[in-house]
Amino acid sequence: MAMYDVPYHGEKDLSEYNFLVTGGAGFIGSNLVEYLLKYGAGKVRVLDNFATGHKKNLAAFLNNPNFELIEGDIRDLETCKNAARGIDYILHQAALGSVPRSINDPITSNEVNVSGFLNMLVAARDENVKRMVYAASSSTYGDSKDLPKVEDKIGKPLSPYAVTKYVNELYADVFSRLYNLEIIGLRYFNVFGQRQDPNGAYAAVIPKFVSQLLDYQSPVVNGDGEYSRDFTYIDNVVQMNIKAALSENVEAVGQVYNVAYGQRTTLNQLLESLKNNLSDYDPKIKNVEIIYGPLRNGDIPHSLASVDKAISLLDYQPRYSIENGLKEAVSYYVSTKDIKSEISNF
């Protein structure tokens, strides 16, 4: 199935609107850019400093007359204001992700995720942006043991990263009420899909496992593999961003939403599914052994989202279960001539 073959913007003509995607060279950001350009947005501007994003993620868009790239850092207020000038909708994805990264370097995570976020709020306010949709995080649920996670019940944060994302929500709420700025937060749950980077110390688990399995390397699981997550395919996330940006439901604004499929999968189940999917391309992958290691600091045991609020207020209709999403993701990873070379250079 082609990516984003179903439009999520209803009858709206996107050519009438200008969008800013911060962190647009990253995994989620570049997918948002792809959707917006595919459906003819008036202008799609990207602000990225390439700290974690990749220029190759934007390569296919560089010759599009509706695309503009600003190389800059959200920690600089004037850069944020320049990027927001003439923009109708901001899709704010720029951040330093990763719980382990924030534990190792809490100061930089705070500078980017809190000070940078505040700069974008000020820029949106001062440049009269219609609405800002921002990437929140399921890490905000912290030590809450309630399942499924519902938006109005959170626990204490378990990492500096979680603190920064919760502070984002507090700032967004204050700006919404003080300055009448339209803001919507999206709590992402373990997003995966095309362009997600499998390399580096803080690689997301699915592309990292795929990369290792393709090289017949044993993936290392933190703990016994029974920790569970609500893995969420990228198409569902794009849908939520577009619907959140363009929704005309006044009750939907000034809210935060879970973005997930609403299905819990253990790491053991995930690996079994990945091995099955990858074995269709290379049967030897079926025999790769899994290694179990120590638990990782700051990890929550289980995560499962309720998406009822998003369904009710934003007409969210997630199309991809983890099974369907993994088929698409694996197909993407193995779709080039030199599979391992492509993965290693991704």
Report in angstroms the alpha-carbon separations of 35 from 137, 217, 221, 311, 317: 22, 34, 34, 21, 17
pLDDT for the residue 308: 98
**Helix H or strand E segment including 292:** strand 291-293
In percent, the amount of the chain with pLDDT more than 70 equals 95
**Looking at the DSSP assignment, which residues form a beta bridge with residue 276?**
none
Report in angstroms the alpha-carbon separations of 341 from 60, 211, 214: 20, 10, 10
- pLDDT per residue rounded down to tens, the chain (346 residues): 568 889 999 999 999 999 999 999 999 999 999 999 999 999 999 999 999 999 999 999 999 999 999 999 999 999 999 999 999 999 999 999 888 899 999 999 999 999 999 999 999 999 999 999 999 999 999 999 999 999 999 999 999 999 999 999 999 999 999 999 999 999 999 999 999 888 766 668 999 999 999 999 999 999 999 999 999 999 999 999 999 999 999 999 999 999 999 999 999 999 999 999 999 999 999 999 999 999 877 777 889 999 999 999 999 999 999 999 999 999 998 874 344 443 433 3
Tell me which residue of 273, 30, 303 sits closest to 189, measured CA to CA.
303
Tell me which residue of 50, 58, 11 sits closest to 31, measured CA to CA.
58
Q: Which long-range contacts (CB under 8 A, 24 or more apart) does 324-327 make?
A: 324/233, 325/192, 325/193, 325/231, 325/232, 325/233, 325/234, 325/235, 325/236, 325/261, 326/192, 326/206, 326/273, 326/274, 326/277, 327/277
Of 4, 134, 161, 166, catalytic: 161
pLDDT for the residue 337: 32
Q: In one letter, which amino acid is 285?
A: I
Core vs surface per residue 275-307: b (16+ CB within 10 A) or e: bebbeeeeeebeebebeeeeeeebbbeebbbbb
Angle at 224 between CA 220 and CA 230, to 5 degrees: 85
Residues 6+ apart with CB under 8 A from 248: none
**Using one digit for the tens of pLDDT, what is the confidence trace for 84-96?**
999 999 999 999 9
**Using one digit for the tens of pLDDT, what is the confidence trace for 10-58?**
999 999 999 999 999 999 999 999 999 999 999 999 999 999 999 999 9
pLDDT for the residue 108: 97
All structural domains of the chain, each given as residue ranges with its CATH number in brackets, are 16-196+232-262+304-319 (3.40.50.720)
Rg (CA), the chain: 19
**157 Cα distance to chain centroid:** 19
Report in angstroms the alpha-carbon separations of 223 from 209, 227, 266, 293, 334: 15, 8, 11, 6, 29
**Using one digit for the tens of pLDDT, what is the confidence trace for 315-343?**
999 999 999 999 999 999 887 434 444 34
Three-class secondary structure of residue 277 per DSSP: helix
Q: Are 311 and 317 in contact (CB under 8 A)?
A: yes
pLDDT for the residue 3: 81
Tokens 């980077």: give the residue: 197
Q: Which two tokens stand for residue 55?
A: 């220029």
Q: Is 332 a catalytic residue?
A: no
